[in-house]
Amino acid sequence: MTASSADSRQDTASGRTGEREAPLGAGPEARQQRGSRTRSLLSPDESWWWNGRRWVPARTEDGLWAWNGSRWRTAAELEGKPAEVLAGALIALADERRTEAGAILAARAAEWQPEGEIRHLVRRAEEIATRLQQTQEGLTSAPNRRMLGRRSAVAADSHALEAERETLTAQQRTLHAQIGRLAPHPTVKEADDGLAAARILEERSTLLTSALEQVQKAEGVQAEAQATARRELAAMEEARLEAIRRAEKGLEDARSGRDAALAEARDRFRSTLSTGMGDLEVGLGQLYLHSRVLRTPSGSLPTAGLIAAEGTAATLWRSHRELLSGLVVLELPETASFLTALVTGSDTLFVLFKNSTGAALWMCPTGQEVAARRFLVALREQARQADAGSDQSEARAREAEQTLEALGRDRSSVEAAEKELARVKADQELQAAIERARRNLEQAGNPISQLVAARKKVEEEVSRLLTPPEPLTPRQS
């Protein structure tokens, strides 16, 4: 409660004595009558009030409240100010009281006879007061001098005197504050009262500041608890995210590992099927016999299972009519020579190469018959060797194929990683820990008992500070 908020109560108390202030709409006579009555009950300095029997103090001991004849008024605007501002305002009022007391002591030094350091300050204050009086006299005489025609010089002097007076006033105020701070007790009653009020104001400011410090300390404790709860929640959430990231990484590794294994199996299977031509063993014209492949003008044939039949066109036709008919349909270059030799009955040597993958026809150039037969001997030997290793090659190919098929069907590692990721995402224990940490954070946001008590203490101090004293009531003589 402040002075303004307590007006109704104060008016009620003073109204019982018939001393209400005249309303704003009342005429001049009513206001003059009320003003005269108030002045007659208050001492000239408004420090005392006549209650009908005796003079009673019209100001509180701390000087914060003043009785105006009908209600208490605060010496400063304090209503609605934060507690921190109120604490500072009390200190400012205390400094003001000391400065006022210092001014009284400086003016009435003869009554209390200062000594030592404070005596020097009082003398300095007296000197400044004398100089201020002189500057005031100079400013007062300036209008008379302007009438004599010295306007420019007088204006310059006035400005200088004004500046000097401002400087001297500031110095005088500083000296008065120092005197009030160093003054012994007792000195002069009016000054002692002001210094006592300053001490009370400081004590109240100290109480309020102490309560505010307790609030700040409790807020720090709660802030630390909130920070701890926030860190715990972040740690729980991060733990879950890290578990999910590990599970996702495991799934990614499982997929990439399976893909790599499949790629390796495909390469191995492909290598069993494509063994290459092998080393060149022998050549004849456009025939080239490699360890694994026979290259002819019309194409290549694997040496494994390769059969070579030699003879004239007629001989070969009788033995391999169906196969040669198929080659003739293809209109290969050799078949044209073969048909000519077959029709004319030529004794030109031809060689028919065949296996399970295809067939090829070759015409031996004239004069190369012996070389051709040696070539065929080498070919049959190489085919025999290729046949001997074909079983092993086929076994390796079947094994590689089976491995590839098994890997293609097997997704167990990927499925296990997928299940692990799903399990981590749905982990009830992790989610429960996060929920507990979240509740702890919410609870940490509720004011702790120390903070509630500290804030209540601040509210009590502010209320005590802004609550006016009981109204003064007149007494019957």
Q: Which of 9-13, 110-114, 270-274 has the highest mean pLDDT?
A: 110-114
- pLDDT digits 0-9 by tens, 222-267: 999 999 999 999 999 999 999 999 999 999 999 999 999 999 999 8
- pLDDT digits 0-9 by tens, 345-396: 999 999 999 998 889 999 999 899 999 999 999 999 988 888 776 667 777 7
Any long-range contacts for 469-472 (C-beta under 8 Å, 24+ apart)?
469/60, 469/65, 469/72, 470/13, 471/9, 471/10, 471/13, 471/14, 471/71, 471/72, 472/49, 472/51, 472/56, 472/58, 472/67
Residue 268 is predicted with a pLDDT of 85
How many C-beta neighbours within 10 Å does residue 318 have? 11
| DSSP letter string, 115-158 | -HHHHHHHHHHHHHHHHHHHHHHHHHHHHHHHHTT-HHHHHHHH
Q: Which residue has the higher pLDDT, 149 or 123?
A: 123
Residue 9 is predicted with a pLDDT of 36
Query: How many angstroms separate the Cα of 473 from the Cα of each of 9, 54, 440?
Result: 12, 12, 57
Q: Among residues 32, 99, 43, which one has the least CA distance to residue 66?
A: 43
Residue 13 is predicted with a pLDDT of 35
Residue 26 is predicted with a pLDDT of 41
Residue 25 is predicted with a pLDDT of 36
Q: What does DSSP assign to residue 186?
A: S
Instruction: Evaluate whether 52 touches 474 at the Cβ level (below 8 Å).
Output: yes
Interhelix angle 83-107/189-273, rounded to 10 degrees, is 150
Q: Residue 279 pLDDT > 90, yes or no? A: no
3-state secondary structure 65-113: EEECCCCEEECCCCCCCCHHHHHHHHHHHHHHHHHHHHHHHHHCHHHHC
Instruction: Evaluate whether 16 touches 70 at the Cβ level (below 8 Å).
Output: no
**Bridge partner list, 350:** 311, 363
Residue 152 is predicted with a pLDDT of 53
Residue 208 is predicted with a pLDDT of 95
- pLDDT digits 0-9 by tens, 158-175: 788 888 889 999 999 999
Give the sheet arrangement for strand 287-290, strand by strand.
Answer: 280-284, 287-290, 293-296, 299-302
> Domain limits of the chain?
83-187, 280-405
Residue 278 is predicted with a pLDDT of 77
Q: Residue 34 pLDDT > 60, yes or no? A: no
Residue 31 is predicted with a pLDDT of 44
Rounded Cα distance between 242 and 100, Å, is: 70
Asked if the peptide bond before residue 184 counts as cis, ω within 30 degrees of 0, the response is no
Residue 45 is predicted with a pLDDT of 84
- pLDDT digits 0-9 by tens, 299-340: 889 888 899 999 999 999 999 999 998 888 888 878 889 999
Burial class of 391 by CB neighbour count within 10 A (0 to 12, 13 to 18, 19+): exposed
Share of the chain above pLDDT 90, in %: 59
- pLDDT digits 0-9 by tens, 77-89: 888 889 999 999 9
Query: Is residue 442 very low, low, confident or very high in pLDDT (cuts 50, 70, 90)?
Result: very high
Average pLDDT, integer, range 457-461: 94
- pLDDT digits 0-9 by tens, 194-213: 999 999 999 999 999 999 99
Give the pTM: 0.56
Question: What is the overall mean pLDDT for the chain?
Answer: 85
Rounded Cα distance between 341 and 476, Å, is: 165
Residue 155 is predicted with a pLDDT of 62
The sign of the torsion formed by the CA atoms of 176, 182, 186, 187 equals negative
Q: Among residues 234, 196, 168, 152, which one has the least CA distance to residue 60?
A: 196
